Amino acid sequence: MSEAEHRARRHLAIGLCALTLLLALAGLAAGSEGWSISQTLALLNGPDGSLVVGQIRAPRTLGAWLTGALLGLAGAVAQGLFRNPLADPYLLGSASGAVLGVVLVLAATMLTGHGISLATADTIARIGLVGAAFAGALLGVTLTLALARGAHETTRLLLAGVVVGVLLGAVIDMVTTVAPDALRGKQAFLLGSTGFLGWGSCGLMAAGVAMALPLAWRLSRMLDALTLGEESAMSLGLALPRLRMAMVAALALATGMAVSQAGLIAFVGLVSPHLVRRFAPAAHGFTLVASAATGGVLLLAADVLARSLVAPQELPVGVLTAVLGGGYLLWLLHRRKIS
């Protein structure tokens, strides 16, 4: 590794650590009346301190970082696996599967006369929605794999993901036609939210990161070999179908976990690896870890902004990530055009 490469990696790592700390503090301080360190300190000394900061702001802050980390990791895996810088974590049908799961639970609850919405969901309903979203995400990926007859060919896998997305989208539309009350819940899920993240969600997502990141990192040399093309990677003695399946498992786990906890959050998975490659281009081992950390920082920043830009109102965090991520990609496109 050259000295310049080493320096770029060090700078990125330091930058990401500093931003995480800074944004975590902002996340703890951001309330319905904007940011205020003094108010937060006063709140901590008061009777509601442990509830507001300890049970609401702290898990939300950590949860936002973990959701972003899962999406950033999944984005880097997807872009490496498909050898396409525009690949995003939702390519394999996990997003449409998760939405279908949520819509089915909402529709079933409403049709049986027990109306719930994301905003008023109680703990049981929330667990039901999270479970349904996770099961739906896994179902979407499983359908994609079945349609592609395994993970033998990347193009087939990609096409199967598109087909599953379209088919499940049609089923979602049919369900919401029969049970139109589920539309609101679906809309809220599509916008994404970090507002419901508690310690339970944090625990689940931390477990997701702990499983998906080491698995993807251990297999990162396969992604390096894939940069040569599939034929050349196979000629290097790699059992590509088996390894690709393991990578798809890591991708599905990370995406399913993130989507089930926070809904569909756009662009974090797509943009994080781009940012890492821009500041510290490197082999996939580093890119995967750094993309996870970058995703965490991006979503944490979006969450803090969503809470404070129009306080006491709150913006949907998915809208902010779409605006920021889309803006970054537009800028990237413009820059390339000029160069």
Partner 1 sequence: MSAALQAQNVSVSLGGNRVLNDVSLALQPGWTVIVGPNGAGKSTLLRGLAGLQPLEAGRVLLRGKPLTAWSVRERAQQIAWLAQQGSATGELTVRQIVQLGRLPKLGLFAEPDARDQALVQLAMVAAECDAWPHRRLHELSGGERQRVLLARALAVDAPLLLLDEPTTHLDPPHQVALVRLFKRLARDRTVVSVLHDVPLALQANRLVVMQAGRIVSEGSVDDPAVHASLTAVFDHAIRIERFGDRFMALPNLD
Tell me which of 76, 95, 213, 222 binds partner 1, using CB under 8 A: 222
Shortest reach from residue 289's CB to partner 1, in Å: 15
Question: What is the full DSSP assignment across 255-309?
Answer: HHHHHHHH----SHHHHHHHHHHHHS---HHHHHHHHHHHHHHHHHHHHHHHHHT
Judged by phi (left if over 0) then psi (alpha if -120 to 50, else beta), residue 251 lies in: alpha
Distance CA 65, CA 23 (A): 10
> If binding is defined by CB under 8 A, does position 287 make contact with partner 1?
yes
> Given the complex with partner 1, which of 260 and 287 has the nearer CB atom?
287
> If binding is defined by CB under 8 A, does position 211 make contact with partner 1?
no
> If binding is defined by CB under 8 A, does position 4 make contact with partner 1?
yes
**Region 224-283 residues binding partner 1, contact defined as CB under 8 A:** 224-225, 227-229, 231-232, 234-239, 243, 277, 281-283
Shortest reach from residue 324's CB to partner 1, in Å: 23
Amino acid found at 148:
A
> Given the complex with partner 1, which of 50 and 227 has the nearer CB atom?
227
Judged by phi (left if over 0) then psi (alpha if -120 to 50, else beta), residue 237 lies in: left
> If binding is defined by CB under 8 A, does position 221 make contact with partner 1?
yes
Shortest reach from residue 266's CB to partner 1, in Å: 24
> If binding is defined by CB under 8 A, does position 219 make contact with partner 1?
yes
Amino acid found at 19:
L
Tell me which of 5, 33, 48, 173 binds partner 1, using CB under 8 A: 5
Residues β-bridged to residue 30: 35
Q: Using only C-alpha atoms, what is the Rg of the chain?
A: 20
Number of residues that bind partner 1 (CB under 8 A): 27
Residues β-bridged to residue 35: 30
Q: What angle do CA 188, 264, 15 make, to 5 degrees?
A: 120
Tell me which of 7, 11, 149, 218 binds partner 1, using CB under 8 A: 218
In the complex, the residues that contact partner 1 under the rule CB under 8 A are 2, 4-5, 83, 218-219, 221-222, 224-225, 227-229, 231-232, 234-239, 243, 277, 281-283, 287
